Each structure stands twice: as structure tokens, then as C-alpha cells.
Amino acid sequence: MVLNKPAGLPVHSGPGGKPSLEAWLPGLQMGKRHLPQPAHRLDTDTAGCLVLGRTKPALAALGALFAAGAVAKTYWAVTRGGPAGESGEVSLPLLKHSTKAAGWRMIPDPAGQSAVTGWRVLGRGDGLCWLEFTPRTGRTHQLRVHAAAALGGAILGDPVYGKAGGGLHLLARRIGFDWPDGDSPGGRIEVEAPVPEHMRAAIAACSTRAPPP
């Protein structure tokens, strides 16, 4: 099952008691013995494609695909500023850093975990840059840090690595993988999420075309 997760909805419940996706999982059970469960992470403020496994075997199979890097993930983002070039790859290790005063964040650090992101420019305008990301690794906040630290500008609305306001302009636009043969028909799964309302004006400012659906 692939959901279009709205921005601002946490996948898991936290200590603050804020509503999360977990509250809606019983409504997605549809006769199965167990509740569906997310097969990967998606930040609270990130909108778009989130894959869930409806059974334990399906969840295990999905976990194996993600662990093997066999899932193609494409993200869209809008940044203030942007790279000088039109495409490339960022390889910048990331390390979790925390302080009592500011809490935790991910920082570039040679001692951190390897983090690699492919990118290309989809449009520019009004001081903004519309970027497509294809992450090769799946580190926490990877795209947000790579945009701010290596690509010339933080993602719009990023309260941690940029400036809050207007919602985080980061969308899990597309996800694709080959589903193994077995109980299901098998074959290629490709799902695309629509552009959320809070990102449409910024994308339009970067393009002479109307914002895509």
C-alpha cells in the first residue's frame, strides 16, 4: 500500500500526543490480521509517497528491497538560492549532533555515515530553485542537509536547516520497485504523489509552465 502522506503528519506517535498516522492504521487494515506498517521513514514535515506493508511477509519483503537499495526514490524540493550547475551528485557524510540548548540535528562530518544524493535542476525563478533529488542512501534529514550545506540554499520552510514558515517544500514525489513473485501478481510498482498546495506557488515561480499535478 502506498499512501500520499500530508505534510505535518508524523508517521509515529510521540511524547507530545500529536495526531499521527498510527491513529488511522485500523481503518486501513481491511480484514488483515495485523495493522499495516510503514516500510521506511518519512519526516513529519515531508509530504508524499509512503509505503506500507499490509502483512508481515509483505513488510519483510519491502524491508529487504529498501535495505538492498532496490527502491527508486525521487523527491522534489524548492530552495532559496541553489547550485550553479544543472545536475550532479552530493557525497557528504552526516553525523547526528545534539546539545541541551538546541536539541539534535544532522551535521556534515567526515566521521558520520556516508550520504549520497543525486540532483538536477527542474527550474529557477524569483531567487528560487526547483530541484529533483534521487537519494542513493537514506540518512535522516539527508536531503535537507545536503541542500543547505552543499547546494547553495536551504529548502523553503525548513525550521532546522533554514527558515521556518510556509511549510517544508519537500515532496516524496515518486517511488518505484519490482515486487517479487509470490501471492501477488508481481511486476513493477510505480507511484507518483501530487504536488501539495503549499508548494505549488513556489514551483510555478520556477517555471513558465503551470505547476504539475
> Which residues carry out catalysis?
43
On whether the CB atoms of residues 51 and 58 are closer than 8 A, the answer is no
* Residue bearing cell 535542476: 121
**Cell numbers that stand for 176 in this block:** 518505484
Strand bridging mode 47-53 / 170-179 = parallel
- If DSSP codes are grouped into helix, strand and coil, which group holds residue 49? strand
CB 61 within 8 A of CB 186: no
Q: Which amino acid is at 64?
A: A
Who's near 174: CB < 8 A, 6+ residues apart?
Answer: 49, 72, 73, 74, 190, 191, 192, 193
Question: Which position has the grid cell 500529536?
Answer: 18
- Rounded-to-integer distance, Cα 93 and Cα 127, Å: 28
Collapsing DSSP to helix, strand or coil, 168 comes out as: coil
In angstroms, the CA 137 to CA 140 distance is 10
